[in-house]
Amino acid sequence: MVTRLEQLRQVLPVEVDAILILKPDNRAYITGFTGSAGYVLVGKNMASILTDFRYVEQASAQATEFTCLDYAPSLHDALNKALNDGNITKLGFESDFVTFGNYQTLKENLVVELVPVTGAVEKLRMVKDEAELSYMQKATEIAEAALEMILPKIKAGVSEAYVALELEVAMRRLGGERLAFDSISASGPRSSLPHGRASERVIQTGDFLTLDFGAVYNGYCCDMTRSFVIGTASPEQEKIYNIVLEAQRAALAAVRPGIVGKDVDKVARDIISAAGYGERFGHGLGHGVGRMVHEGPSAGSKSEDILQPGMVVTIEPGIYIPEWGGVRIEDMVVVTENGYRNFNRFSKELICL
């Protein structure tokens, strides 16, 4: 098996001798080291983690392919020594992460030329291995069991914030280590806000309620959305819900290796547009998920990303009508050799609570 370290070496840009990894998710992904601080250097013939006293032992245990060093008393002296030992003169850095201030400090103190590099580790992260997929499956199972558990508590008279908190506590109790993101709990007219954070609004009979939420398991996120009606659905609510559901199912059916992200988006968008609501579906169809809730590849209307087996994307069309309400249905799927596998099993029929 080719390790992640080896894969990174293979995709390092030719302009650099090594890369300095500071992004926490990239550091954990490449090294296995889960501590909160560490400077990772990867070159053709070198792999080092420079960290502080708190983490040297943990880093040595977790990152077995790496030389783990305590950088005390001077980080920059330790980095310069490692760079010198590795014959590094051109060092890539994550220019989409390093702040201008940190860049200036590195530039002043390191004896190498700094070269901006983006997306090297992120590109590897797009394709998940079996272990990562199993964590994401578990995260989804936690989220779905939590939703099932709290459904009886959702009714007219409780607030959006109450529903979100109940959901969040349930996910933690069921083994979620944290939330994948701030839960969205948007009811009534607020459900037309695609990213309506839970507010104090009291849920009323006749409302749509959209819940978009996720748990993290072993460092991996899940992301799902379901929309409900409180009480009895009106014909208009049923109509809008069913358009979104039809678009979601059609887009799912289009997921397979080789399809371009924007073409999956188009399948859903065409259905919503044909029904007259194209203007009311104002966001991309989906996004990658992994250690971050939003990562590559994209399944949005401009995405040129080509889906490959092992990539995880969400499929989440929606219709949002200002001052009336909105619906979104979101599943997370992994691309397989023949199509896709859905992490979610929670019903997508319109549930009236």
CB 224 within 8 A of CB 212: yes
Of 225 and 298, nearer to Zn ion (C-beta) is 225
CB of 286 to Zn ion, least distance (A): 7
Strand ranges of the sheet holding 46-51, from the earlier edge strand across to the other edge: 67-70, 46-51, 39-43, 18-21, 90-94, 113-117
What is the rounded distance in angstroms from the CA atom of residue 288 to the CA atom of residue 16?
A: 28
- DSSP element (H, E) containing 147: helix 130-150
CB of 317 to Zn ion, least distance (A): 11
CB of 223 to Zn ion, least distance (A): 4
What is the rounded distance in angstroms from the CA atom of residue 133 to the CA atom of residue 286?
A: 18
CB of 20 to Zn ion, least distance (A): 31
Of 67 and 301, nearer to Zn ion (C-beta) is 301
The neighbouring-strand residues paired with 202 are 159
CB of 81 to Zn ion, least distance (A): 44
Of 31 and 344, nearer to Zn ion (C-beta) is 344
Which conformational region is residue 63 in: left (phi greater than 0), alpha (psi within -120 to 50 degrees), or beta?
A: beta
User: Within a 13 Å sphere around the CA of 163, how many CA atoms are in the beta-carbon half?
Assistant: 32
Of 141 and 212, nearer to Zn ion (C-beta) is 212
Please report, as ranges, the residues that interact with Zn ion according to CB under 5 A.
212, 223, 225, 314, 330
CB of 188 to Zn ion, least distance (A): 20
Of 17 and 223, nearer to Zn ion (C-beta) is 223
Of 225 and 248, nearer to Zn ion (C-beta) is 225
CB 263 within 8 A of CB 302: no
Q: Count, in order, helices (H) and strands (E) of the chain.
A: 10, 20
